[in-house]
Amino acid sequence: MSAGGPVGVAVRVAGEGEADALGDLDPVAAERGSGRRESIRRWCAERSVLVAQDASGPLGYCVVEYTFFEQGFVPMVMVAPGARGRGVGRLLLGAAARACMTPKLFTSTNLSNQPMHRLLLRAGWSPAGLVHGLDEGDPEVFYLHGPLTGTGG
């Protein structure tokens, strides 16, 4: 499923038995009480995880769900700290767009998460809206894969 990404890196659907390995590469999953490991287990069981890997093992993962107004939504993109800056995140986002089963694919990130904003813009996503009140003092910016269309009145 690799297309135009880092050499030797492939993307595929993660199996249920890979939840621990994905949790190990995710710094947030290491935080006591974060609940991330349980989310990773659930996502793997639902077969909604795409994992990027090379010969050394998993480098990152992303999740595609369909609970956002019945459209595709990427609630999580995680690249192992040692694999960042190598195109893994962009590869995962491209794979998510190709795998999406709805006409639209959205994601979001906090306004303060500038590395994610840069990644999304480089990967061809367009800002689509802003929501206050999810994280106190740090609004959530929503993005749509591809250019915005039909926004005129």
Q: What is the pLDDT of residues 3-21, one digit of tens each?
A: 557 889 999 999 999 999 9
Q: Kindly provide the b/e burial profile for residues 15-45, where b requires at least 16 CB atoms within 10 angstroms of the residue's own CB.
A: eeebbebbbebbeebeeeeeebbebbbebbe
Domain ranges of the chain: 10-145
Mean pLDDT estimate for the chain: 92
Q: What is the mean pLDDT of residues 20-33?
A: 90
Which residues are paired to 50 by β-bridges? 13, 62
pLDDT at residue 59 is higher than 90: yes
Query: Distance of CA 27 to CAs 22, 24, 37, 117, 139, Å?
Result: 10, 7, 11, 19, 22
Q: What is the pLDDT of residues 72-117, one digit of tens each?
A: 999 999 999 999 999 999 999 999 999 999 999 999 999 999 999 9
> In this model, does residue 2 exceed pLDDT 50?
no
Give the bridge partners for 108, in sequence order.
Answer: 142
Which CATH architecture fits 10-145? 3-Layer(aba) Sandwich (3.40)
> Radius of gyration (Cα) for the chain, nearest Å?
15
Dihedral sign of CA atoms 121, 83, 6, 93 in order: negative
Residue-level pLDDT at 151: 52
Question: What is the reported pLDDT for 1?
Answer: 44
